[in-house]
Amino acid sequence: MSAALLEVENLSKHYPVLRRGILLQRQTAAIRAVDDVSFRLQAGETLGLVGESGCGKTTTARAILNLVTPSSGAVRFEGRDILPVFRKGERSEVLGIRRGLQYVFQDPYLSLNPRWTIGETLREPLRIHWPEREAEWPTRIDALLRMVGLEPQHAWRYPHEFSGGQRQRVGIARALAVEPRLLILDEPVSSLDISVRAQILNLLAELQDGLGLAYLYISHDLSSVRFISTHVAVMYLGKLVEMAPVDALFAAAGHHYTRALLSAIPVPDPGAAQSRIHLQGEVPSALRRPTGCPFHPRCAAALPVCRSEEPALIDIGPGHRLACHNPA
């Protein structure tokens, strides 16, 4: 197996719950936002990370980039363990890693400085990473705008003068400014209209083909995940419960939670029969996780062992991994 561009191994992020005393405070529990997550992403591929809101998708992405400090685990980018580099804090080394790993945020308005023109927004990463190439900045900014379907004259405008889709194009251009190898896309189309979503997804696919990018694509929209992803990882309550190539997952999902998610995908045919799987109850609190399998309180196929023993994520087919005692 070839070396992965990104390899995440046993990554966890736990938030302590503290109780204040008269003089001191002590930890009484921990919120396990991300718990022992492992996956690999090859160059030029897209891993779709899916699950309900609050399942740990964004925390996983931010822990990879050390935007939140992981509690444990390892993250290797291009074969190098990058978390010790972030902890050491050597500016030149950190910038070198961040040039290869860039982030596109969910809200295309809040992620842009309203007081900066688009040109200033695109100039900022160039100023930080390539100060010695200042003479090239104007040409680079023009090229970035054209790359994402905008015009060079848009560099003089402000974010409020653009639509949501155009602002997200600017966010993508900013991420591409320093020629990264991997983009983390955090719900990049969730706040956009359906037609605009399709335009942004097509743009991402074209950029991937043209630049050889890898994507970590975070979403709860399984239709967009199916369109853009080569592999899919399903998260529930901070844990990975299933991973598979995209076609294998959509054709033969093994986890009951994955099947419930797939059954909720809208079908553009009012007359088509839909067998929607309705889950019982609500997602349990991350502070008081169930014993055994975290999904068992909502699973109609739960066995007694599910209540006492947490299933391991094991291989069940080519590239297909599953954590379930009683697969579908």
pTM: 0.92
Rounded distance between C-alpha atoms, residue 193 and residue 233, angstroms? 25
Write down the pLDDT at residue 328.
Answer: 85
Q: Which band of pLDDT confidence, cut at 50, 70 and 90, is reported for residue 26?
A: confident
CA distance 128 to 163: 28
pLDDT tens across 174-210, in order? 999 999 999 999 999 887 888 899 999 999 999 999 9
Q: Is the pLDDT of residue 138 over 80?
A: yes
Q: C-alpha distances in angstroms, 43 versus 16, 76, 77, 176?
A: 35, 13, 11, 16
Least confident segment among 19-23, 54-58, 277-281, 284-288: 19-23
Domains plus CATH for the chain?
6-229 (3.40.50.300)
pLDDT at position 119 is 97
CA–CA gap between residue 55 and residue 50 (Å, rounded): 9
d(CA 227, CA 185): 14
180 touches 125 (CB < 8 A): no
CA–CA gap between residue 316 and residue 323 (Å, rounded): 10
Task: Report residue 161's pLDDT band, with 50, 70 and 90 as the boundaries.
Answer: very high
